Amino acid sequence: MKLRDYIDKIKPNFEKGGKFEKLHSTFEAFETFAYTPNTITKKGSHIRDAVDLKRTMIIVVIALLPALLFGMWNIGHQTSISYGLDFGFWQSFWFGFLRMLPLIVVSYVVGLFIEFMFAQIRGHEVNEGFLVSGLIIPMIVPVTTPLWQLALAVAFAVIIGKEVFGGTGMNFLNPALVARAFLFFSYPTHMSGDSVWISKPFHYAGDAVTGATPLGELMAGHSTSASALDMLIGTIPGSTCETSVIAILIGACILLVTGIASWRTMLSIAIGGGIIGLLFNAIGANDYMSVPFYYHYLMGGFAFGCVFMATDPVTSAQTNCGKWIYGFLIGAFAVLIRVVNPAYPEGMMLAILLMNCFAPLIDHCVVKANINRRNKRALKAA
């Protein structure tokens, strides 16, 4: 237990009156990152779970890993087929790893720097929420996103999306989606279109090869060139790590088995998207409407948003009944925006952000309805 001893040795420096008193929250963050804290609640009634917020976040990170690893391979794979290179499996993976690494590093460094700064200024603990957001952000942007733009988006998301409201647990919008929305509206040429999804090989000076995502093709009035099976496995151009539905479903299983994400939210999103998809199939006024409804589950960020972003415990609805309504409307709006809106190819991001705003209202109505129902019952009994 060398590390434990070392931490105990330097601990007095960071406590009240110590040399580095100002850096207390920084120290605390690293200590509790390494070891489960042994402090206990002293007053009032409380229930303690075996896992605290840090362990919860680590499980989400583990659930993200399949999508992340597949995404890295797919980056290399897409470059390899578009540029006519003959990458092997490991070569593709290595190429993608080198492309993803700067994005992840920038996202964590910028985000954690701001988190630590705010924790120091306000004198509270460093919140671990960014552990997940910081990994999700590079996973949902195109691989060619310039690093300074990503840094700006992360800073915007952490400050405006989270810290102004009081930090982790107080934000009403999902920070990762705030970052993506910031990029999407600030630098649209880097976030959509046909030329952003495929990374150039190293030392390549020629023109970039373009590759359209299924959503992009449908938007332009073509049919998708990828088959449903390709989209299910994820060997299509798209944002870095959200192409593979299978990898995302593995993550979903981890989240559901450990009970961290809500199955109600996930299921209701699928139902909402499916019903609107079927409705459009029935109308069939144009080609896009006639796209089989299950395609919507496979294309773009639907699966990723459904599993990892809509289920965010902070920004989703809290009541069980509220989760059904919240999820259903996310699915419905996502498909609606995709098919009907002429400006935005992908609707999942906007749908989740919209419903994030309405989640407190939904909860309020559900709680109020419950109180009314019980009041009526009490009156009847009396």
Partner 1 sequence: MSKNTKLITNPLGKNNPITVQVLGICSCLAVTAQLKPAFVMALSVTVVVALSNLIISFLRNTIPPRIRIIVQLVVVSALVILVNQVLQAFVYDVSKQLSVYVGLIITNCIVMGRLEAFAMSNKPWASLCDGIGNGLGYGIILIILGFVRELFGSGTLWGYPIMEKLGLYNIGYENNGLVIMAPMALILVGIIIWIQRSSNKELQEK
Q: What residue ranges bind partner 1 (CB under 8 A)? A: 146, 148-149, 160, 164, 182, 185-188, 190
Between 70 and 184, CB nearer to partner 1: 184
> Closest separation between CB of residue 156 and partner 1, Å?
9
> Closest separation between CB of residue 79 and partner 1, Å?
21
> Closest separation between CB of residue 121 and partner 1, Å?
10
> Closest separation between CB of residue 140 and partner 1, Å?
17
| CA distances to 14, 93, 101, 234, 245 from 82, in Å | 54, 16, 22, 16, 22
Between 199 and 243, CB nearer to partner 1: 199
Between 185 and 202, CB nearer to partner 1: 185
Between 68 and 103, CB nearer to partner 1: 103
> Closest separation between CB of residue 147 and partner 1, Å?
10
> Closest separation between CB of residue 221 and partner 1, Å?
25
> Closest separation between CB of residue 380 and partner 1, Å?
43
Between 151 and 228, CB nearer to partner 1: 151
Three-class secondary structure assignment of the chain? CHHHHHHHHHHHHHCCCCCCHHHHHHHHHHHHHHCCCCCCCCCCCCCCCCCCHHHHHHHHHHHHHHHHHHHHHHHHHHHHHHCCCCCCHHHHHHHHHHHHHHHHHHHHHHHHHHHHHHHHHHCCCCCCCHHHHHHHHHHCCCCCCCHHHHHHHHHHHHHHHCHHHCCCCCCCCCHHHHHHHHHHHHCHHHHCCCCCCCCCCCCCCCCCCCCCCHHHHHHCCCCCCCCHHHHHHCCCCCCCCCCCHHHHHHHHHHHHHCCCCCHHHHHHHHHHHHHHHHHHHHHCCCCCCCCCCCHHHHCCCHHHHHHHHCCCCCCCCCCHHHHHHHHHHHHHHHHHHHHHCCCCCCCHHHHHHHHHHHHHHHHHHHHHHHHHHHHHHHHHHC
**The residue type at 226:** A
Between 132 and 353, CB nearer to partner 1: 353
| Residues 168, 314 contacting (CB under 8 angstroms) | yes
Between 196 and 233, CB nearer to partner 1: 196
> Closest separation between CB of residue 291 and partner 1, Å?
29
Place of tokens 């999306």: 161
C-alpha–C-alpha distance, residues 277 and 299, integer Å: 13
> Closest separation between CB of residue 93 and partner 1, Å?
28
Between 62 and 170, CB nearer to partner 1: 170
C-alpha–C-alpha distance, residues 113 and 88, integer Å: 37
Between 186 and 370, CB nearer to partner 1: 186
